[in-house]
Structure 1
């Protein structure tokens, strides 16, 4: 009996259980069903709590409404009144100033801390310590910093006087120092979150790049400039976008610490939206200001995404 005949007989004696399993014909349909099943709750939440309120905000921005009576359509009058409103212009200028103070400084400090932590042992412990302010309630942090910035008995002015013989400024009551004071609080709170992102990006860089550069005689500065910074550019891009969005939405700090003062020096866009809605009860104008803020953030994000191709490098 030849080999082919024996293989044929052996194959015929195999039981159906040993043979190849048949794949059900509706596998794709079943996978698609479970996919839609699991995304359905999130889709409903997105629709009810994000998309519909966004659409209603655009509709309400075209109406005059005090929150109680009937609504009346006014077209673009709310937007025109906002651009003519001096307080709205002050809020935009203050918010831009706050963004310029917090975003570059916060990103640079977070990057430096991440680079330092990436070179030491015990990264988990240090990462936890640095990240704790990021999950602390902003109102509680603002109250603590109000005490630190107090001109009469605050710890900052106390140490400035005892250690350096300098009389500290009126941090929260001086128009020159109030926004930098709020910016310092925000930088301290956001440092841990940005640091964790940068640290993850640094740990994702292959060590072979640094080994090859050391063989070529590259210095630490050259490694930082030509390897580290380009390879973490996607992380830098994400951190920049999120930091700018967060800086334009600042509210808690100025509301708790200064109530927008002194002399509107810490009066931000979101504070203006709140005051227009819940103090003046002009919800149409308040929603128009919110729509303008949305368009500003959207425009800045699109611009950053457009120019990101010039400096964001993705590892192959």
Structure 2
């Protein structure tokens, strides 16, 4: 090939539904590389046919990824460029590719991301839940006990949690959420970028009602977004906040300046000085 840098592995994001979401750069790379490593070559063949691209493909999935490393390494050493794609979205995000990227990077090869669609980011951007701190957990375990344990582990965390879920397990997941986190706000993002894209929000029990009343709402792939634990004040849990406020009030009553007080609080209690500075300002304003 003539236009791409030789010996490069491109990690290319593909559409999660709407084919118009493929970036021009991604389309160009897919047409110019020497070969494409695809999670499912039959699935990806439809995308390439739509684009009029005839680049040779080889399969790269969970069951053969480790075995593909040496094959791809030889191709890169020979000066070929390769595109890594999954069935939909960004490779490595709950999709194959981690082993290949890690090993080829360790062998000195150039790895170049070609960003684009990603279901978890698309869902977060439109869900209306906090996005300043979130944890992506991938797919929940299939076994009920393990699934419950995973959701219970998120009970105390203040950050938003994001999960992927399949249509045949979404009701079971909501049932577990209704038992473990009954009061949490949950958003279900379904069929993102497709014709029947839907966002449903509410507590788990209400979402269960909606899915049971309309079985069509259980179809398609889901992103499940769960709000963090309530009672958080500037990153500290409620019980910590009470004790912290007592310290801050004592500092103010002793005439300690806000800037110095923030430094003392950060040193004694942890956290950022800026957060303590804002809390001291608020407390001093209330008392004035």
Q: TM-score, normalised by structure 2?
A: 0.25
Structure holding more helix per residue: 1
